[in-house]
């Protein structure tokens, strides 16, 4: 990696507060971050740590209460629907539960055609669209000819998640937010999904951001790791630094609580 790393997404004092008055909850509490282009980033946190809220803010699905998010060094402006649409050409997501991520009333073709349309290919001849969809499907080891006119719920969880990746293949975003992309699928499909994401990253040069509760996964895939607790980043740095030489007690505890296979799992600490 070159020394002049280009910022692709960064934030200063990003905060999200839900509710008002006594019902107020601070989901994300003044977090600062700098995600560089080409890096693989993981945000690790337990449920309720605010990681999904942060992901939604990064995606522009919800507005931040306070603070600024910078996209490619400039302050992000997604005030209008048109601007949002433009922003979403650069940032896309893969969701945790493939079963709820598709509209059950839409066919697989619709899902993929949406992506082509979004890249400005809405008026391409039909044959060319089919060729693009076939290419995207074969990238994730699916056969478009078998999928056409089917519904997403007719596929297995792993296949659905691969279809999600095919979608990203067509969209070619700069940033990909992967929210627990492997937590709902079997361990032996997990490697396939991760492999495909990595391959896709090399192919289209995107920056993946993993949102996960699995500290092992974060260590395996990422260059930089951010540990999140109660809406704050308690520790961040390179994966080796954070996972192998943690400084913060929370990170240490998290690592301690995960079963391991080489080291003894110390049960006395709870």
Residues binding other proteins (CB under 8 A):
46-47, 56, 59, 61, 81, 84-85, 88, 92-93, 95-97, 100-106, 114-115, 118, 141, 156, 158, 186-192, 194-195, 213-220, 239-240, 243-244, 253-255, 257-263, 265, 267, 270
Minimum distance, C-beta of residue 115 to other proteins, in the bound complex (Å): 7
Q: Judged by CB, which is closer to other proteins: 146, or 195?
A: 195
Q: Give the helix/strand (H/E) hosting 145.
A: helix 144-147
Q: Judged by CB, which is closer to other proteins: 30, or 184?
A: 184
Q: Judged by CB, which is closer to other proteins: 12, or 107?
A: 107
Q: Is 201 exposed, middle or buried (0-12, 13-18, 19+ CB in 10 A)?
A: middle
Q: Judged by CB, which is closer to other proteins: 11, or 152?
A: 152
Distance CA 89, CA 71 (A): 13
Minimum distance, C-beta of residue 4 to other proteins, in the bound complex (Å): 25
Distance CA 64, CA 16 (A): 5
Q: Judged by CB, which is closer to other proteins: 32, or 266?
A: 266
Distance CA 53, CA 49 (A): 9
Measured between alpha carbons, how far is residue 88 from residues 74, 165, 207 in Å? 16, 16, 14
Minimum distance, C-beta of residue 231 to other proteins, in the bound complex (Å): 16
Phi, psi torsion values for 12, nearest 5 degrees: -130, 120
From the list 74, 70, 61, 77, the residue with the least C-alpha distance to 14 is 70
Structure tokens at 60: 């522009």
Minimum distance, C-beta of residue 243 to other proteins, in the bound complex (Å): 5
Minimum distance, C-beta of residue 74 to other proteins, in the bound complex (Å): 21
Minimum distance, C-beta of residue 98 to other proteins, in the bound complex (Å): 9
Distance CA 207, CA 7 (A): 11
Q: Judged by CB, which is closer to other proteins: 14, or 215?
A: 215
Distance CA 51, CA 45 (A): 6
């Amino acid at each position: 990696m070159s020394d002049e790393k280009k910022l692709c997404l960064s934030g200063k004092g990003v905060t999200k507060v839900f509710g008002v008055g006594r019902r107020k909850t601070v989901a994300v509490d003044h977090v600062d971050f700098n995600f560089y282009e080409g890096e693989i980033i993981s945000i690790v946190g337990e449920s309720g740590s605010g990681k999904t809220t942060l992901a939604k803010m990064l995606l522009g699905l919800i507005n931040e209460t306070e603070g600024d998010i910078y996209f490619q060094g400039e302050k992000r402006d997604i005030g209008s629907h048109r601007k949002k649409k433009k922003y979403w050409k650069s940032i896309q997501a893969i969701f945790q539960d493939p079963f709820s991520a598709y509209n059950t009333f839409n066919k697989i073709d619709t899902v993929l055609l949406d992506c082509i349309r979004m890249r400005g290919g809405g008026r391409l001849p039909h044959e060319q669209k089919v060729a693009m969809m076939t290419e995207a499907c074969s990238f994730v080891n699916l056969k478009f000819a078998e999928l056409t006119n089917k519904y997403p719920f007719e596929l297995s969880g792993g296949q659905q998640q691969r279809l999600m990746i095919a979608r990203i293949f067509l969209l070619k975003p700069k940033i990909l937010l992967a929210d627990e992309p492997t937590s709902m699928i079997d361990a032996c499909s997990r490697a396939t999904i991760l492999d495909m994401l990595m391959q896709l990253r090399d192919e289209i040069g995107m920056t993946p951001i993993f949102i996960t509760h699995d500290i092992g996964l974060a260590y395996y895939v990422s260059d930089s790791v951010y540990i999140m607790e109660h809406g704050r980043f308690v520790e961040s740095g390179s994966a080796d630094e954070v996972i192998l030489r943690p400084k913060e007690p929370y990170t240490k505890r998290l690592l301690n609580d995960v079963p391991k296979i080489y080291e003894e799992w110390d049960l006395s600490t709870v």
